[in-house]
Amino acid sequence: MGGMKPSARHITMTAAISALLGLVPAAATAADAAAGKAVFAAKCKTCHAEDGTGNPAIAKMMKVDLKPLGGAEVQKKSDAELKAAVSEGTGKMKAVAGVAGADLDNVVAAVRALKK
C-alpha cells in the first residue's frame, strides 16, 4: 500500500532538474554578453573580479567600497549610466581607456549578466 512508484519519483527528479536549468540566462543576449565577458576580463576584472564582487586588495588600496556589480544598487542603474561610469569614470574609478562602441555595449551586457 502507498509509497511513490519509482516512475513517479523519476518524473519528480526530471522536473527538478528542468527547473534548475531554467535558471540559465536567456539566449537572447548571450552573444553580446559573451563578447563583453572578454572585454570585462581584459579591462575590469583586475579591480572588480571575474564575478563582479570586487577585488579586496584593490578596494583596500583605493580606500573604497567596491559595490558588487551584480547587486541591486549597480543593476538598478540604466545602461547609459553604466556606460558613463566606464567612459567617464565614477567616484574613485577613472575612465577606462579603449572601451567604446560595440565593446562598451557588450561589456554592459556582461555586467547585466552578473545580476544575482
Binding site for ligand HEC (CB under 6 A): 43-44, 46-48, 58, 62, 64, 66-67, 69, 74, 82, 85-86, 90-93, 96, 99, 107, 111
Output 35 or 58, the one with its CB closest to ligand HEC.
58
Report the nearest approach of ligand HEC to the CB of residue 99 (Å): 5
Output 35 or 62, the one with its CB closest to ligand HEC.
62
Output 86 or 113, the one with its CB closest to ligand HEC.
86
Report the nearest approach of ligand HEC to the CB of residue 73 (Å): 7
Residue with cell 566606464: 86
Q: Which residue is nearest to ligand HEC (CB)?
A: 91
Give the contacts of 51 (CB within 8 A, at least 6 positions apart).
Answer: 70, 114
Report the nearest approach of ligand HEC to the CB of residue 16 (Å): 35
Report the nearest approach of ligand HEC to the CB of residue 30 (Å): 18
C-alpha distances out from residue 104 to 28, 51, 62, 65, 111, Å = 18, 18, 24, 24, 11
Q: What are phi and psi of 22, to 5 degrees?
A: -65, -15
Sign of CA dihedral 22, 66, 51, 29: positive
